Structure 1
Amino acid sequence: MSSEATGPTPQQDRPIVFRNGKVLTMDDQHSVLNNADVLVVGEKIEAVGPGLDVPEGTQEIDADGGIIMPGMVDTHRHMWQTAMRGYGADWTLTQYFVWYYLQHGMHFRPQDMHAGNMLSALDALESGVTTTVDWSHGLQTVDHAEASLDALEESPGRFVFAYGNIHAGPWEWASDPDVQNFISRRNKGSDMLGFQMAFDVTGDPEFPERKAFEVARELNLPVTTHAGVWGATNDDGIRLMHENGFMTPETVYVHAATLSDDSYQRIAATGGSVSISTESEQSCGQGYPPSWVLRSHQIPVSLSVDTSVWFSSDLFTAMRSTLGADRSRIHLEAHAKGDTITHSHLRAEHVVDWATRGGAKALGLDDAVGSLEAGKKADVVLLKNDNSPTMFPILNPYGHVALQAGRADVHTVLVNGKVAKYDHKLVGADLAQAKKAIGETIDHLQTTMGADVWEQEMNPEIPQTDVLDNPYTYTQYKSDATHSH
């Protein structure tokens, strides 16, 4: 194993070659190359293989003893909430609804959205996530949207901006000419910045969300939606989407944890995919993390962290928690029948795929990112930490990524060929400014709420409302699905 003697940060305008690493290509064959190189020229991967010849002036990164893999893809992260990292560690999903939907979410100013997004962007990159969907459902005004998107464009990451507003009906904000103008004006069709529309379907038989789907279709935007969330969205929403022709291969269903077999069949038949946030589903009660049932229906899967107001903000944790939840479910079901499991059906290789290639496919970016292949964009991660006993020996590379490695082992991150992290440190990031902006947001929230309320709301009381039957403040529709009568 090499010693981790690292030279100066590579220059951005010269080719880079990673030398002598274990390469997880995540190509169609899931090729694993030992003692191999990855050559990056400009924005793209030029070649992958052992002993590559490189252009004169190429900068070399020693990957011996490390794993070279594609940048990870997070398909569902409420980035604005990173300003409150860990605040809701003991919340339930209902308490989350109370805090953000009913009481305090409207206190966020545009500058607070910018602060949360900037911190979250740096957080993602630092952990090897090179593409992130900003499920931005706190956009009370277009000014909030402008500030949120400005933060993303100021970051070296690759993003998909999913426009949403939990304080107004999707049919209302989607019809707003200012919102539509914002999307048209700022959506340049770049693979560095994509757009989605983010909203949920309540199951109201009148299907008021139809207008939002129609606007998404007019703007040629995919829809991402929280589906199968116990107490919020259910099979009626899936049925309405399907009957009205709004389930497409580009649709991303987040969680999808409490759906019927019929709903899963509709998702499978229409080619959609599911973004699993296992930590969230385990802790909040959306339903049991559904990878086990998605596999049975052959529904494509990607991974996401949801929100760091509660959970870890890296896909290493998402991979290992997903493996654990899936295997736990299968073991328990076997034990209930007096059987035992002798082979693991969900393997480390599968969750590494979901964290990389699966996310790229879900976002329609598979031609650009998600695997290390010549001609693809150079979103590359090197896991290497010679100072950590956890990074050797590397015997099963998929198992090492999914169950052993962590963000501290992320040595180098390239996004679109540019160095975003090197020698375990972010490159060009103004952490002091990010910290200052977050501090101002926290001061604003504490002042607005009052110090006592701020402390109490870490475990908020449940107001006397029908929040369990309808967490959405923008509609009067209620369902008795969450209560037995």
Structure 2
Amino acid sequence: MADYVIRGAAIVSVDPEVGNLSRGDILVKGDRIAAIGLDLAVEDAEVIEADRMIAIPGLVNAHNHLWQTVIRGIGSNFGGADYYNYLHAGAAPRYTPEDLLWSEAAGGYSMIDAGTTTVFDWCHNNPTPDHSDAAIDGLMASGVRALFGHGTVKPKPKPGEPHFSEIPHPRDHIERLRKGRLASDDALVTLAMCVLGPDYSTIDVCRKDFALAKELGLISSAHVWGRRNRLNPGGYLDLAREGLLPERHNVVHANYISDEEIRLLVESGGTITATPPVELRGHGVPPLVGRVAAQGGRPSVANDSEVGVEGDMFSTLRISLQADRFYRNVQTQRELEEGTNPEAAAFEAENLKTIGTGGGVYQKERITTGEALKWATLNNAAVMGMEDKIGSLTVGKKADIVLLRRDDWNMTPALNPENAVAMFAHPGNVDTVLIDGEIRKRAGRLVDASGAARALAEIRERGPRLMADAGYPDIAW
């Protein structure tokens, strides 16, 4: 493994001790960041010239279903039960292990190309061990850092079969992985357990699933909405009363749960991931990030599913930030109308004295672009138990580094690099990507060009076939 020194970059570190540097160097030795500073004295390291670039930690996606890459874009108009009917009941049962392999590989390459170096891959289309192995093969082929979340399928039950909500996580399937190819927690691809949780399973299934995750030493994750039709109406409050509150647990979505339930999860050490790009389509009030922060938690954001929305973390953090700001503005306006916010009223009165001031909106706590970058890096790393390894440019951490071209048309002049990254950057600006000290993208092109080209060719062929087999000519043409 070669050593590298990145020279002359503007550094957005997401580490308060390192801070933001208008110009600096980053020394990479093996798979680690060895030094950060100005004009580092380095011998025997390949120089990566970054004079007109911005260096950031690799972006982290805390929730994505890469098995859906092969049918990307079919669900942008989904509503109601469409997601379940078209995907889990329709397309998912038609996947072969090879379909899963190439979907995961293409998804991994796509993550890297867009500056995302780590992904929590929530894989709940793995009916057989062969499907799980194929998905892991795809992730490993791409070179992305991944937490492979072993989930369970959700088919429509046949006559005489139990509903999926009554079926515990298959011990033999996940135990095989934990004791086999994903036994290590230090590898590039590691293991998590994606469970049904209190919304989608009985209390007995929750009891068994959380006990299994604890026994195997795995992070668990569950889709939770908190709607009135959840199987356990009190959600995690019910689990706590039963003494079943899980350890090292991640909750995704949770738009409808109470502040009390959020507080309980935060105080128990759990994490909560919002997916505003999907939730804005009609899944309740989206700015969960603000509610989590208000209860002392660390907001985490992701895109969720490329069936309907783009998967890059630049757009995800931007949508998440704007949704939170919008919601705060709406709340303030409502309080002004109700006369319940004297501070906002005084601000408005003062602001309106002088014509032409722009009519600024009162905000008690303004969420900054730097905070939004933390959501998409360090906080998302914490969701996966990787905060000590990735998520910031810190000496001793893994060398997961992204270089962005600040001279591109949409970025120039990038007077404030932090703002430029959060509000202007897109995947086309990603010049160089290092994962575990290995260069995976350079000069705007994936290093594994042949592997990436094969993955693209495979999903171009397999996607239309899957849609045809499922009988969906109305959404794939």
Q: TM-score of the superposition, structure 1-length normalised?
A: 0.86
SS at match of 2:473: helix
Q: Which amino acid aligns with 2:372?
A: V
Distance 1:121 1:391 in 2: 26
Tell whether the 8 Å contact from 2:30 to 2:437 is kept in structure 1 after alignment: yes
Correspondence for 1:183: 178
Give the residue type in structure 2 aligned to 1:195. Answer: L
The structural deviation recorded for 1:174 is: 2.3
Contact 1:86 1:309 in 2 (8 A): yes
Q: Give me the whole-angstrom Cα distance separating, in 2, the residues matched to 1:235 and 1:52.
A: 58
Residue 442 (structure 1) aligns with: 463
For the residues of structure 2 that align with 1:82 and 1:205, how far apart are their CA atoms?
A: 31
Other-structure match for 1:427: 447
Where in structure 2 are the equivalents of 1:277-292 lying within 5 Å?
277-292=275-290
Q: Which runs of no fewer than 5 residues in structure 1 stay unpaired?
A: 1-12, 460-485
Among residues 2, 15, 20, which one is paired with 1:27 in the alignment? 15
2:88 maps to 1:68: no
Matched, 1:375 2:375: no
The corresponding residue for 1:346 is 367
Q: What CA distance in whole angstroms lies between the structure 2 residues aligned with 1:194 and 1:426?
A: 23
Structure 1 counterpart of 2:239, from 203, 224, 241 = 241
**Structure 2 equivalent of residue 49 of structure 1:** 37
Give the whole-Å Cα distance in 2 for the aligned partners of 1:231 and 1:410. 43
Find the partner of 2:83 among 96, 113, 116.
96
In structure 2, what is the equivalent of residue 214 of structure 1? 211
2:470 paired with 1:456: no
Q: SS state of the match for residue 205, structure 2?
A: coil
Length-normalised TM-score, structure 2: 0.87
Question: 395, 405, 415: which one pairs with 2:435?
Answer: 415
* Structure 2: distance between partners of 1:344 and 1:43: 38
What's 1:479 paired with? none
**Residues 464 and 476 in structure 2, CA contact (< 8 A), matched pair in contact too:** no
Number of the residue aligned with 2:224: 227
Structure 1 residues 19-418: aligned runs within 5 Å: 19-29=7-17, 31-56=19-44, 58-167=45-154, 169=164, 172=167, 174-189=169-184, 190-203=186-199, 206-228=203-225, 230=227, 233=230, 236-248=234-246, 250-338=248-336, 339=344, 340-342=361-363, 345-386=366-407, 388-418=408-438
| Native 8 Å contact 2:431 2:444 kept in 1 | yes
Alpha-carbon distance change, 333 to 151 in structure 1, aligned in 2, over 3 angstroms: same
The sequence identity of aligned pairs, in percent, is 27
The verdict on how the C-alpha distance between 1:441 and 1:284 changes in structure 2, with shifts beyond 3 A counting, is farther
Does the CA-based 8 Å contact 2:332-2:363 persist in structure 1?
no
For the Cα contact (< 8 Å) 2:446–2:452, is it kept in 1? no
Aligned counterpart, 2:356: none
Q: Could you list the runs of 4 or more consecutive aligned residues of structure 1 that deviate by over 6 angstroms after TM superposition?
A: none
Supply the distance in 2 between the matched residues of 1:40 and 1:366 (Cα, whole angstroms).
Answer: 19
Letter in 2 for 1:404: F
Q: 1:33 to 1:171 in 2, by over 3 A?
A: farther
Q: CA deviation at 1:179?
A: 3.8
Q: How many residues align?
A: 442
Instruction: Give the AA of the match of 2:206.
Output: E
Q: Which sections of structure 2, spanning at least 5 residues, go unmatched? A: 156-163, 337-343, 345-360
How far the C-alpha of 1:349 sits from its partner, in A, is 0.5
Task: For 1:249 and 1:27, locate their aligned partners in 2 and report how far apart those are by CA, in whole Å.
Answer: 27
AA of the residue aligned to 2:460: G
Check the 8 A contact 1:229/1:286 in 2, yes or no: no
Does the 8 A contact of 1:24 with 1:69 survive in 2? yes
Structure 1 residues 165 and 342: CA distance shift in structure 2, 3 A: closer
Residue pair 2:467, 2:476 contacting (<8 A) in 1 also: no
Structure 2 distance, partners of 1:176, 1:272, is: 23
Contact 1:384-1:411 within 8 A present in 2 as well: yes
Amino acid at match of 2:430: V
CA–CA distance in 2 between the matches of 1:286 and 1:182?
Answer: 36
Contact 1:207 1:240 in 2 (8 A): no
The offset of 1:182, in angstroms, is 3.0
Shift of 1:178: 3.9
How much does 1:335 deviate?
0.6
Aligned 8 A contact 2:168 2:208 in 1: no
Distance change in 2, residues 1:405/1:171 (3 Å): same
Contact kept? 2:4, 2:47, Cα under 8 Å: yes
Q: C-alpha separation between the residues in 1 aligned to 2:18 and 2:239?
A: 35
